A and B are shown apart, each in its own frame.
Chain A
Amino acid sequence: MTARSGLLLVLCLVPSSARLAGQERQGFDHQKHAKVFASCTACHVGAVTAGASMWPDPVSCAACHDGTIQKRVTWQPRSREGTRTNLRFDHSKHATALRDKVVGCTTCHAGQGAPWMTAEAPRAERCLDCHGVRVAHLAAPDTACATCHLPLVRAQRLTIEDVASFPKPPSHEQPDYAAVQGHGRASQATGANCAMCHARDFCLQCHVDAPERPSIQTLAPDSRSLAIRATLRPPASHDDPAFLLGHGGSAKAAPERCSACHTRESCLSCHSATTRVAARLPAAGPGRSTGAVVSRRRPPSHGANYAERHAAAAATAAATCAGCHARSDCLECHRPDAARAAGYHPRGFLARHPAAAYSRQTNCSDCHNTAGFCTTCHASAGLVSRGGQLRSGYHDFTIFFSAGHGQAARQSLETCVGCHVEKDCLTCHSALGGRHINPHGPGFDPSREIKKNPQMCTACHGTAIPTQ
Chain B
Amino acid sequence: MSAARVGALWVLLVATGVARCLSQDYRLRVDTRVQAVAYRGVSFDSIPVGDTVAGPGGGLFTPDGYAVACNPNGFCTFYRAGGIVHAAPVTTTADLTVWGLGVPGLSVRAIGRATGDLSSGDNWAGTTSHLQLLEGYAQYAADWWTAQLGRQTVETRFGLSGFDGARVTLRDWHRGLEASGYAGWGLWQGSALPVTSPALNPLDEFRPPERTILAGAGGAWTTSRLDLRVIYQREVDPSTDYFVSERAGVDAVVRPYRGVILTGGADYDIAQGWWGSAEARLAYTVPTGRLSTSAGVRGYRPHFDLWTIWGAFSPVPYTAIDGTLDFRPVPKLQVRTQGEHYSYANSETATPLVSVESSGWRFSWGATYTLTKAWAVDGGYHAEFGPGASSRGFEGGVTYAARNLSITAHGATLDRPLEFRFDEASLNLFGLTADYRPMSRLRVQLDATRYAEDRKRPDAGAFSWDQLRVSSRVVLFFGGGSADGGGLPPAVRAMPERGSP
Contacts and interface: CB of A to CB of B under 8 A. Distances in A.
Interface of A: 240-242, 245, 249, 265, 268-272, 274, 296, 300-301, 303-305, 309, 311-320, 324, 326-344, 346-348, 351-352, 354-361, 363-377, 379-384, 386-387, 391-401, 403-415, 417, 421-423, 425-426, 429, 439-445, 448-449, 452-457, 459-460
Nearest to A356: B384
Nearest to A312: B263
Nearest to B228: A316
A421 B203 contact: yes
A268 B224 CA distance: 23
A442 B345 contact: yes
B253 A296 contact: no
Given A339-B91, A404-B351, A369 B346 contact: no
Contacts of B418: 354, 397
B499 A317 contact: no
Contacts of B90: 339
Given A338-B89, A425-B309, 13 more contacts: A268-B490, A300-B286, A300-B289, A312-B157, A315-B231, A318-B155, A330-B160, A342-B499, A358-B388, A372-B199, A379-B203, A401-B420, A406-B347
Question: What is the interface residue range for chain B against chain A?
Answer: 35 or more
Contacts of A383: 41-42
A329 B29 CA distance: 13
A396 B42 CA distance: 14
A386 B203 CA distance: 6
B427 interface: yes
A357 B389 CA distance: 9
B157 A440 contact: no
B403 to A, nearest CB: 14
15 contacts: A270-B491, A317-B222, A319-B222, A347-B449, A369-B188, A371-B201, A372-B202, A392-B77, A404-B353, A407-B347, A413-B315, A440-B314, A443-B272, A452-B242, A453-B271
B406 interface: no
Q: Which of A269, A347, A356 is most buried by chain B, counting CB atoms within 10 A of its CB?
A: A347
Interface string B114-130: 01000000011111000
Contacts of A452: 242-243, 246, 271, 306
B329 to A, nearest CB: 14
A343 B499 contact: yes
Interface stretch (B12-20, B50-58, B67-75, B436-444): B67-75
Contacts of B388: 354-355, 357-359, 408, 412, 415
Nearest to A311: B157
A268 B44 contact: no
A387 to B, nearest CB: 8
B294 A303 contact: yes
Q: Which of B243, B388, B412 is most buried by chain A, counting CB atoms within 10 A of its CB?
A: B388
B85 interface: yes
A347 B431 contact: yes
A365 B162 CA distance: 13
Contact of B126 (A326, A338, A381, A414): A338
Contacts of A422: 205-206, 308-310
A253 to B, nearest CB: 12
B429 A348 contact: yes
A441 B274 CA distance: 13
A391 B127 contact: no
Contact of B42 (A240, A381, A429, A448): A381
A448 B385 CA distance: 37
B35 A341 contact: yes
Q: Which 5 A-B pairs have the closest CB atoms?
A: A404-B354, A441-B314, A381-B41, A358-B388, A241-B287
Contacts of B181: none
A339 B202 contact: no
Contacts of A417: 310
A369 B471 CA distance: 23
B125 A315 contact: no
B422 interface: yes
A271 B353 contact: no
Q: Which of B109, B192, B310, B326 is most buried by chain A, counting CB atoms within 10 A of its CB?
A: B310
B293 to A, nearest CB: 8
Given A373-B190, A443-B314, A456-B309, A305 B124 contact: no
B169 to A, nearest CB: 10
